[in-house]
Amino acid sequence: MPALTEKKRPASRSAGRPAAELIFGDLWTFDPAPETADPKLKSRYDLFIGGKFVAPSSGKYFESINPANETKLAEIAHANAADVDAAYAAAQKAFSTWGKMPGKERAKYIYRLARLLQDRAREFAVAETMDGGKPIKESRDFDVPMAAAHFFYHAGWADKFDYVAPGRKVAPLGVVGQVIPWNFPLLMMAWKLAPALAMGNCVVIKPAETTSITALKFGEIIADAGLPPGVINIVSGFGDTGAAVMTHPTAAKVAFTGSTEVGKIIMRSLAGTDKKMTMELGGKAANIVFDDAPLDQAVEGIVNGIFFNQGHVCCAGSRLLVHEPVAAAVLAKLKARVRTLRVGDPLDKNTDIGAINSREQLDKITELVASGVKDGADLFQPAGKLPGKGYYYRPTIFSNVTMSHRIAREEIFGPVLSVMTFRTLDEAVEKANNTAYGLSAGVWTDKGSRILKMSTELKAGVVWANTYNKFDPTSPFGGYKESGFGREGGRQGLLDYAKLI
């Protein structure tokens, strides 16, 4: 049996005395703790149009793969242009009723969606984890509860529109087309649907092809809630389906969350039209640690900022900027913390980092990490055995990174952190803003005045102070520059689904 050893580490400014690191080796291991709830998956999922499930007109289906073990979960309907036309026709017909319905009546339906999702929370959490690869404790404790919270919050707004734009009246836009990504399928659906419904719009929404199951399962909740047929229509498919949703002439507004490259294609295709747009695109956020920060707390925030959901987060703190006086201490603490992270079966409640969403995404991460090594950055990955089957990647830290490295400039969308240093506040701001993106940032310091200054200097839509990845339905979220435009959540997100009259 391996002996229990104690390893002395250098003193850090936050500790004030030499710290001891207990190294247990493989003295104790975690017994498997799998989630056993039944996700109630069907072998085949059809489109949800006009209040009912219908087969795709082409008769075509594609497979949804569990990234944890590469097994087939279900067959998903592939909607073509004719199916999208039918979805928009159903939404347009429903708008004549839904758009004129008193807000307090719409609120009852939206509230029902939230309660029904809560009732089936465990089932949806397991389905989300199996379809997307994220750890069950994240699906269970964040994704599903936050999705329900967005419906609850916007149900509360539905009869209070006299206060959403003081001095002005608001009205629904009509039918809205929406496309959501694969990293937070159910939550992104709630972000999109809840404000649109509360304002009185009807929706045609397309989930990502690799994570369509929870969106189509949500169709069951829509039916159970008794929403008028056509208020919400769900069409699954690939890029051709998304393009049909985004460019359809019936849509008064389109909302897209995904890569900057695809967002640019959508914007070019809609140039010259009068459609409203909301674009929530890529990010390359800076997480900035000053020498007076609570370092142990900061390390937890750094880990959460980049390794949450395998780094599949548009606002992930993928660039760590550390004040030079504490850079060595932060890096040592960070490496020690990362060694404790468990990579493995996403359905195991002990797992910290689950499966990468797809083979394609795993290949992208692998290629960018190889570029970091080639460019001369120092690679750190903890030891440990990965599962033999499935798409997995170790948590990765690069130090000695420069702004010219690809890993410091390109969005990796994986569990990969690039560490750089700075000497002055102005240098930190310059490095943080030296990116095409502007979605989010984090600041760790004990000085309130420094936090306020950084919040005004950083070109980011969201700036977290002494925390990271904190979300709330009442708070608007969105970015600048190539991270997109428009806001989701809060009063600002509601106004993006309204016209002022």
In a domain, 265, yes or no: yes
| Together in a domain, 219 and 305 | no
Average pLDDT over residues 159-174: 95
Task: Given the residues 123, 280, 411, 482, select the one marked as catalytic.
Answer: 280
Give the side-chain half-sphere CA count within 13 A for 217. 23
Q: What are the start-end ranges of the E strands in 358-426?
A: 378-380, 396-399, 416-422
State the pLDDT at residue 111: 98
| Together in a domain, 155 and 265 | yes
In a domain, 472, yes or no: no
Whole-angstrom Cα distance, residue 400 to residue 411?
18
In a domain, 23, yes or no: no
Q: CA 374: distance to chain centroid?
A: 30
202 classed as catalytic: no
Give the mean pLDDT of the chain. Answer: 94
What is the domain-level CATH number for residue 167? 3.40.605.10
| Together in a domain, 213 and 250 | yes
Among candidates 343, 337, 419, which has minimal Cα distance to 388? 343
| Together in a domain, 378 and 442 | yes
In a domain, 471, yes or no: no
Domain span including residue 134: 44-281+483-500
In a domain, 139, yes or no: yes
Task: Given the residues 123, 314, 315, 457, select the one marked as catalytic.
Answer: 314
Torsion over CA: 476, 247, 202, 48 (sign): negative
| Together in a domain, 79 and 65 | yes
Q: Characterise 133 by phi-psi region: left (phi > 0), alpha (psi -120 to 50), beta (else).
A: left
In a domain, 426, yes or no: yes
Confidence of residue 313 (pLDDT cuts 50, 70, 90): very high
| Together in a domain, 191 and 235 | yes
Question: In b/e form, how buried is each residue of 247-279, taking b as 16+ CB within 10 angstroms?
Answer: bbebbbbbbbbbebebbebbbeebeeeebbbbb
Here the contacts of 376-381 (C-beta below 8 Å, separation 24 or greater) are 376/400, 376/405, 377/401, 377/402, 377/405, 377/407, 377/418, 380/335, 380/338
128 classed as catalytic: no
- pTM of the predicted model, to two decimals? 0.93
Asked whether residue 9 carries a pLDDT value surpassing 70, the answer given is: no
| Together in a domain, 275 and 287 | no
Confidence of residue 5 (pLDDT cuts 50, 70, 90): very low
In a domain, 91, yes or no: yes
| Together in a domain, 260 and 224 | yes
| Together in a domain, 74 and 124 | yes
Tens of pLDDT, residue by residue over 443-473, are: 999 999 999 999 999 999 999 999 999 999 9
Tens of pLDDT, residue by residue over 223-238, are: 999 999 999 999 999 9
The structure tokens listed for 82 are: 């004719």
| Together in a domain, 212 and 223 | yes
What is the domain-level CATH number for residue 411? 3.40.309.10
| Together in a domain, 305 and 235 | no
In a domain, 288, yes or no: yes
State the pLDDT at residue 6: 43
Whole-angstrom Cα distance, residue 393 to residue 435?
26
Domain count, the chain: 2
